[in-house]
């Protein structure tokens, strides 16, 4: 009774970034696509995955899933918007290699499986398998840092994005 009088529980601010897959973490400037490597969409990082299990890079919420399933929009509790772009030029594959495991509105953590990706199908189409993570609302970003590059495990803490 009178639930409307109760204060909404504030979600804790977690500004950590996590590896989306086990594999090789690289700086965004090393991604083999000029739109990403020149930071035209924003700053971030990428993981060249060892397998097709792709996890959330943040603790936050799913705000959009692209119709072609190659990208998922997420939002951190601090307001930063994150684009998880799965592969390079994979929009042309019309969703075939992607099995999305979340829906819009879902609350996610670094342990949430976002998608199962058929990496062999991406490679067979001569596309890159880099899983690119981009902070798209750079005007809100105060500080971005990667604390690790090289081999990472899925869900491993790899940096921070402060708003």
Catalytic residue among 52, 85, 114, 158: 85
User: H or E stretch including 151?
Assistant: strand 150-152
38-49-140-63 Cα dihedral, nearest 10 degrees = 120
Q: Is 151 a catalytic residue?
A: no
Residues labelled catalytic: 85
């Amino acid at each position: 009774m009178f639930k409307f009088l109760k204060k909404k529980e504030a979600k804790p601010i977690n500004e950590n970034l996590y590896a989306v897959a086990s594999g090789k973490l690289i700086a965004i400037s090393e991604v083999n696509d000029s739109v990403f490597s020149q930071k035209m969409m924003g700053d971030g990082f990428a993981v060249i995955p060892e397998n097709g299990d792709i996890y959330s890079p943040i603790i936050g919420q799913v705000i959009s899933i692209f119709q072609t399933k190659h990208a998922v929009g997420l939002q951190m509790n601090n307001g930063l918007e994150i684009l998880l772009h799965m592969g390079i030029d994979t929009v042309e594959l019309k969703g075939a290699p992607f099995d999305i495991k979340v829906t819009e509105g879902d609350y996610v953590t670094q342990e949430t499986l976002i998608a199962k990706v058929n990496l062999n199908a991406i490679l067979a189409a001569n596309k890159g398998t880099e899983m690119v993570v981009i902070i798209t609302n750079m005007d809100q970003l105060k500080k971005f840092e990667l604390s690790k590059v090289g081999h990472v495990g899925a869900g491993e803490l790899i940096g921070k994005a402060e708003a």
